Amino acid sequence: MTTTPHGFEHVRWGIIGVGDVTERKSGPGLQRAERSSLVAVMRRDGAKAADYARRHGVARWYDDADALIADPDVDAVYVATPPDSHRDYAVRVAAAGKPVYVEKPIARTADEAQEMLTAFEHAGVPLFVAYYRRAMPRFVRVKELLDGGAIGTVRAVSVRTQKPAGMWEPEHLPWRVQPEISGGGLFVDLGSHTLDLLDHLLGPITTVTGVATNLAGQYPAEDHVAATFAFASGVVGTGLWAFDAAVDEDSVDIVGTAGSLRFSSFGVEPLLLRTADGEQHIDAPYPEVVQQPLIQLVVDELTGHGTSPSTGESALRTARVVDAVLADYRAQHTTTR
HEC-encoded secondary structure of the chain: CCEECCEECCEEEEEECCCHHHHHCCHHHHHHCCCEEEEEEECCCHHHHHHHHHHHCCCEEECCHHHHHHCCCCCEEEECCCHHHHHHHHHHHHHCCCCEEECCCCCCCHHHHHHHHHHHHHHCCCEEECCHHHCCHHHHHHHHHHHCCCCCCEEEEEEEEECCCCCCCHHHCCHHHCHHHHCCCHHHHHHHHHHHHHHHHHCCEEEEEEEEECCCCCCCCCCEEEEEEEECCCCEEEEEEECCCCCCEEEEEEEECCEEEEECCCCCCCEEEEECCEEEEECCCCCCCCCHHHHHHHHHHHCCCCCCCCEHHHHHHHHHHHHHHHHHHHHHHCCCC
Name the class of domain 3-131.
alpha beta
Which residue intervals of the chain bear CATH 3.30.360.10?
Answer: 137-286+319-333
pLDDT of residue 5: 40
Least confident window among 168-177, 282-291, 316-325:
168-177
Distance between CA atoms of residues 10 and 303, nearest Å: 7
Residues 151 and 275: beta-carbon distance below 8 Å: yes
For residues 193-198, give the mean pLDDT: 98
Which residue intervals of the chain bear CATH 3.40.50.720?
Answer: 3-131
- 259-263 and 249-256: which strand pairing? antiparallel
Which amino acid appears at position 65 of this protein?
A
Catalogue the long-range contacts made by 171-179 (C-beta closer than 8 Å, 24 or more residues apart).
Answer: 173/219, 175/82, 177/218, 177/219, 177/220, 177/221, 178/219, 178/220, 178/221, 179/108, 179/220, 179/221, 179/330, 179/333, 179/334, 179/335, 179/336
Burial 122-137 (b: 16+ CB within 10 A, else e): ebebbbbbbbbbbbbe
- pLDDT bucket at 324, cuts 50 / 70 / 90: very high
pLDDT of residue 3: 46
**pLDDT tens, position by position, 69-124:** 999 999 999 999 999 999 999 999 999 999 999 999 999 999 999 999 999 999 99
Domain covering 137-286+319-333 in this structure, CATH number: 3.30.360.10
Q: How many CB atoms lie within 10 A of CB 121?
A: 14
Query: What angle, rounded to 10 degrees, do the helices at 110-123 and 312-333 form?
Result: 150
- CA torsion through residues 81, 14, 294, 282, sign: negative
Q: Which pTM value belongs to this model?
A: 0.95
- 154-162 and 36-42: which strand pairing? unpaired
Average pLDDT across the chain, whole number: 96
Contacts of residue 220, Cβ cutoff 8 Å, sequence gap at least 6: 177, 178, 179, 214, 333, 334
In the chain, pLDDT over 70 holds for what percent of residues? 97
Which amino acid appears at position 250 of this protein?
D
pLDDT of residue 336: 52
Distance between CA atoms of residues 68 and 75, nearest Å: 10
In the chain, pLDDT over 90 holds for what percent of residues? 95
